[in-house]
């Protein structure tokens, strides 16, 4: 509301107000001069130096896409909200393949170019001051299935057996269908609005809103975002605490419902080990696709057609280890996969299996395999991230459990996802926590031989604690 000033008020509002008994009004100091420079074209991970970008912190993605299954054409309109961490003359987003039709920064047209394989280089109409929150809108389109990908765990955008589509992959996934700062170092909230023809269903991360809209209010590493478009059968329920559960089953996966129905039981068990479920929603996307992996897409893992109950346990454990607590460097992927894999052993222990016996049997089988023990679990080298973490990693964690004892190990399983909830962590963070929880025990040699070593550990480290008997 605007009010007329009295003479006294006017007197108090000017610099000469001292004469009226008031304080002088001092003008706000001018802002410091800017020194804008381009944001880095990579986030700094030595394994993938071109992934991600510098100069800003992504805060949220609002992704709006229209997809036509018969033609495979996608039109996108994505807004990235970010905060500048330096004075920016220009900055990059990551986008693979698709054609860019226009870019705006804070509502004004911005110049853009495409560089290297996936750099979308944006020059705003005016430099952006450090600390400023700004919004970048990108309009784009094309057939994302035609964008080349490397295979393996980089699956790209794929057509599904029912004529729909899905995208899933690690370490690259998001940039195949929306502009993004594609690095787990820069997590952000995620909202998807998808428009598809009648008869098709869209499933994504987080909580369901109006038709085709999904929102995850928790920060997400970009490779953990997803979209699946299909002729799904959708089951909806809730966990005991009210957390919504949405699971989608593609045609031909009806038998997987017996597995999906056990999700509340699995999450209840894992919550007893790791602490409260950290995500905004739960569920699963059960594809009828022979993908060589399932993936822990946040809140709603994506399952290949071969997925079984241990896979459900594994991907559910990732909601703590990998999704809520994400790696800063891909060389530390054991923080995700070793723990998710060991959760399958914890489930087997719940069902009565003696894990010490299982461990000893595994050692006997692998003792003579130089290839098995040559797999490093930390600092393994680019391209080797997923070689040992699913098998040797399980043995390493069980040996660690016996080395520090069950009380300390149980505390570790709860304190790690609590301490770094919805953030990032590193392997040195982990070693420091284990050392502290174990009472200051010197574990350097143990970590070196098990996690950085390339040979069968000596018996003292191979059979610690109760494993010696």
Residue found by looking up tokens 């049997």 in the block: 361
Percent of the chain at pLDDT exceeding 90: 91
Q: What is the structure's pLDDT at 154?
A: 87
The domains spanning 232-323 and 330-467 adopt the same CATH topology: yes
Of 61, 49, 48, the C-alpha closest to 298 is 61
Rg of the chain over CA atoms, in angstroms?
26
Q: In whole angstroms, how far apart are CA 239 and each of 243, 267, 271, 405?
A: 5, 9, 12, 32
CATH of 36-150+170-223, one of 2.60.40.420, 2.60.40.1730, 3.20.20.120, 3.40.50.300: 2.60.40.1730
140: Cα separation from own chain's centroid: 24
Q: What is the structure's pLDDT at 25?
A: 63
Q: Is 366 left (phi over 0), alpha (psi -120 to 50) or beta?
A: alpha
Run of H or E including 31: none
Q: Per-residue confidence of the chain (469 residues) as pLDDT tens digits? A: 433 434 333 333 333 233 334 455 678 888 899 999 999 999 999 999 999 999 999 999 999 999 999 999 999 999 999 999 999 999 999 999 999 999 999 999 999 999 999 999 999 999 999 999 999 999 999 999 999 998 788 899 999 999 999 999 999 999 999 999 999 999 999 999 999 999 999 999 999 999 999 999 999 999 999 999 999 999 999 999 999 999 999 999 999 999 999 999 999 999 999 999 999 999 999 999 999 999 999 999 999 999 999 999 999 999 999 999 999 999 999 999 999 999 999 999 999 999 999 999 999 999 999 999 999 999 999 999 999 999 999 999 999 999 999 999 999 999 999 999 999 999 999 999 999 999 999 999 999 999 999 999 999 999 999 998 6
Distance CA 2, CA 239 (A): 51
For the question of whether the overall pTM of this predicted structure is more than 0.85, the answer is yes
Distance CA 461, CA 315 (A): 29
The residues spanned by each domain of the chain are: 36-150+170-223, 232-323, 330-467
Ordered DSSP codes for 254-281: GGGHHHHTTHHHHHHHHHHHH-S--SS-
Name every residue whose Cβ is closer than 8 Å to that of residue 226 and which is 6 or more positions away in sequence. 166, 167, 168, 173, 204, 205, 285, 295, 297, 300, 302
Distance CA 228, CA 294 (A): 14
Distance CA 57, CA 39 (A): 11
Distance CA 454, CA 450 (A): 8
Distance CA 402, CA 397 (A): 9
Long-range contacts of 23-32 (CB under 8 A, 24+ apart): 31/129
Inter-residue contact 154 to 171 (CB < 8 Å): yes
Q: Is 199 left (phi over 0), alpha (psi -120 to 50) or beta?
A: left
Cβ count within 10 A of residue 57: 15
- For domain 232-323, give the CATH superfamily: Neutral Protease Domain 2 (1.10.390.10)
Distance CA 297, CA 83 (A): 25
Quote the tokens at residue 151: 């295979």
Q: Which neighbouring-strand residues pair with 388?
A: none
Residue 131, SS3 per DSSP: coil
Name every residue whose Cβ is closer than 8 Å to that of residue 169 and which is 6 or more positions away in sequence. 149, 153, 154, 155, 156, 176, 223, 295
Q: What is the structure's pLDDT at 9?
A: 37
Q: What is the structure's pLDDT at 4?
A: 41
Give the end-to-end CA distance of the chain in Å, rounded to a whole number. Answer: 80
> In this structure, what are the phi and psi dihedrals at residue 52, rounded to the nearest 5 degrees?
70, -175
Q: What is the structure's pLDDT at 20?
A: 39
Q: What is the structure's pLDDT at 18?
A: 34
Q: Over the range 428-446, which residues count as b (16 or more CB within 10 Å of their CB) and which as e?
A: ebbbebbbebbeeeebeeb
Ordered DSSP codes for 342-373: HHHHHHHHHTT--HHHHHHHHHHHHTT-HHHH
Distance CA 332, CA 378 (A): 6
CATH architecture of 330-467: Orthogonal Bundle (1.10)
């Amino acid at each position: 509301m605007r009010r007329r000033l009295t003479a006294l008020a006017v007197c108090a509002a000017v610099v000469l107000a001292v004469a009226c008994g008031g304080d002088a009004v001092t003008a706000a100091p001018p802002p410091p001069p800017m020194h804008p420079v381009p944001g880095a074209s990579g986030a700094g991970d030595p394994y993938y130096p071109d992934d991600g970008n510098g100069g800003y912190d992504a805060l949220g993605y609002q992704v709006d896409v229209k997809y036509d299954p018969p033609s495979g054409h996608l039109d996108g309109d994505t807004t990235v909200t970010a905060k500048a961490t330096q004075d920016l003359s220009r900055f990059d987003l990551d986008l693979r393949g698709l054609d860019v039709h226009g870019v705006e920064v804070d509502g004004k047209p911005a110049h853009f170019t495409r560089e290297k394989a996936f750099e979308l280089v944006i020059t705003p109409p005016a430099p952006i001051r450090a600390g400023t929150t700004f919004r970048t809108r990108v309009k784009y389109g094309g057939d994302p299935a035609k964008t080349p990908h490397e295979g393996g765990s980089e699956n790209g955008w794929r057509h599904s057996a029912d004529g729909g589509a899905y995208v899933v992959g690690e370490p690259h996934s998001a940039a195949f269908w929306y502009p993004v700062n594609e690095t787990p170092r820069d997590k952000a909230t995620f909202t998807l609005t998808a428009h598809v023809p009648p008869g098709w269903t869209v499933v994504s991360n987080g909580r369901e809103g109006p038709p085709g809209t999904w929102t995850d209010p928790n920060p997400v590493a970009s490779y953990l975002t997803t979209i699946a478009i299909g002729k799904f059968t959708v089951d909806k329920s809730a966990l005991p605490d009210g957390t919504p559960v949405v699971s989608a089953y593609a045609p031909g996966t009806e038998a997987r419902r017996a597995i999906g129905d056990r999700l509340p039981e699995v999450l209840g068990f894992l919550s007893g080990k790791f602490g409260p479920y950290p995500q905004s929603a739960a569920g699963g996307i059960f594809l009828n696709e022979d993908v060589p992996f399932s993936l822990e897409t946040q809140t709603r893992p994506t399952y290949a057609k071969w997925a079984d109950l241990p896979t459900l346990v594994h991907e559910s454990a990732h909601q703590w280890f990998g999704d809520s607590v994400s790696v800063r460097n891909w060389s530390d992927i054991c923080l995700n996969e070793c723990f998710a894999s060991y959760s399958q052993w914890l489930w087997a222990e719940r069902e009565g299996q003696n894990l010490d016996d299982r461990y000893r049997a595994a050692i006997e089988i692998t003792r003579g395999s130089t290839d098995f023990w040559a797999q490093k679990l930390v600092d393994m080298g680019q391209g080797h991230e997923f070689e040992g973490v699913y098998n040797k990693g399980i043995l390493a964690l069980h040996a660690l459990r016996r080395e520090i004892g069950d009380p300390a190990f149980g505390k570790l399983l709860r304190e790690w996802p609590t301490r770094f909830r919805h953030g990032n962590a590193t392997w040195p963070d982990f070693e420091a926590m284990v050392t502290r929880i174990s009472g200051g025990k010197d574990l350097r040699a143990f970590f070196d031989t098990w996690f950085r070593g390339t040979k069968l550990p000596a018996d003292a480290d191979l059979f610690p604690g109760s494993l010696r008997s």
